[in-house]
Amino acid sequence: MPSPISNRRRNVLLSAATAAVAAGASLGTSAAAAAPAKGAAGRTSGTFTTRDGVEIYYKDWGPRNGPVVVFSHGWPLNSDSWESQMLFLSDKGFRTIAHDRRGHGRSSQPWDGNDMDHYADDLAQLLDKLDVKNAALFGFSTGGGEVARYLARHGSKRIAKAGLISAVPPLMLKTAANPGGLPIEVFDGIRAGSLKDRSQLYLDIASGPFFNFNRPGAKPSQGMINAWWMQGMMAGHKNTYDCIKAFSETDFTADLKKIDIPMLVLHGDDDQIVPIGASAHAAAKLLKNAKLVVYPGAPHGLTDTHKDKLNADLLAFIKG
């Protein structure tokens, strides 16, 4: 049975984070959500319960009658990680939607079902609930796998075009058929770090390779580091542990081959988390209708470090 995050735990995390993160941040509703775009009506967030009893939290920003853009987040984050893109697009008249994946953020924490099929099915139920039509769908990192599995498993009847941003498909794990992937020892190390000291693991990832703050001459943003850590610690331990296998060992090759709608494949060529060779370059070759965009020198976390450029590129792709 799902076990919701307690209000007490949320409040403890909020109190710890607000000392280091900009004042006014909220675990339930962000400052951006509190001031939706002109023309917005109704709630800016909500929840629904999946067929297997998991409560999913989602944000729904911008005008209700605007063209729809849907976002799927990475590990171990939540929908807050898309705030820059959602605020930018909603301010331009788009209705933007993002959910907290099961086990992450404000969604409940089921013991089982932490895999790509369930993630894709949860996304499908969200889009059905909101009756989304002719939408653009973007997935970041693990969310890119969710997007690929959703399109292959549920089709594109609600989606006009989609994008993979710093995404894991087709396969992160090194195998005989995928020699450019990462060795299993890399993911075993993440699992070991999670069991030993999950909080420190998240700090190490955020302060190092995720944003390339470990590169010579880099100027780390403590705000980005704190926000990443806070989102990770809001997620369930079992859920994020299981998700390591989901994002690293799921093979999306067959999924990508089924997708025929226009696809944006966007990646930084200095991505230390999901190296571009076995991901974006390989994915673009498998897709029937792909536009590959490479950001020179960009890290994995380019939704923050390159947000202005990314926002402009997403807008151009949506309108194109």
Residue-range domains of the chain with CATH: 7-319 (3.40.50.1820)
| Residue found under tokens 């909500």 | 46
pTM of the model: 0.88
pLDDT tens for residues 121-167?
Answer: 999 999 999 999 999 999 999 999 999 999 999 999 999 999 999 99
Do residues 207 and 213 lie in contact, with contact meaning Cβ atoms separated by under 8 Å? yes
Q: How far is CA 91 from CA 22, 74, 88, 311, in A?
A: 21, 24, 5, 12
pLDDT band at 5 (very low <50, low <70, confident <90, very high): very low
Concerning whether 6 is annotated as a catalytic residue, the answer is no
- CA distance linking residue 310 with residue 290, whole number of Å: 17
- List the one residue out of 140, 87, 124 whose CA is nearest residue 274: 140
Does pLDDT of 218 surpass 80? yes
Concerning whether 3 is annotated as a catalytic residue, the answer is no
pLDDT number for residue 73: 98
pLDDT number for residue 42: 55
Q: How far is CA 197 from CA 103, 106, 204, in A?
A: 19, 22, 11
In the set 166, 248, 300, 313, the catalytic residue is 300
pLDDT number for residue 203: 98
Other C-beta atoms closer than 10 Å to the C-beta of 15 total: 9
- CA distance linking residue 54 with residue 110, whole number of Å: 7
Q: 144: buried, middle or exposed (CB in 10 Å: 19+, 13-18, 0-12)?
A: buried
pLDDT tens for residues 21-72?
Answer: 333 333 333 333 334 334 445 579 999 999 999 999 999 999 999 999 999 9
pLDDT number for residue 98: 98
Work out the mean pLDDT of the chain and round it to a whole number: 90
Concerning whether 271 is annotated as a catalytic residue, the answer is yes
- List the one residue out of 88, 89, 91, 112 whose CA is nearest residue 102: 112
What does residue 305 show for φ and ψ, rounded to 5 degrees? -70, -30
- List the one residue out of 214, 275, 242, 229 whose CA is nearest residue 80: 229
Q: What is the mean pLDDT of residues 270-276?
A: 98
In the set 141, 207, 248, 279, the catalytic residue is 141
Q: 260: buried, middle or exposed (CB in 10 Å: 19+, 13-18, 0-12)?
A: exposed
- CA distance linking residue 99 with residue 81, whole number of Å: 11
Query: Which residues face 293 on adjacent strands?
Result: 266
Q: What is the mean pLDDT of residues 306-315?
A: 98
In the set 271, 279, 304, 313, the catalytic residue is 271
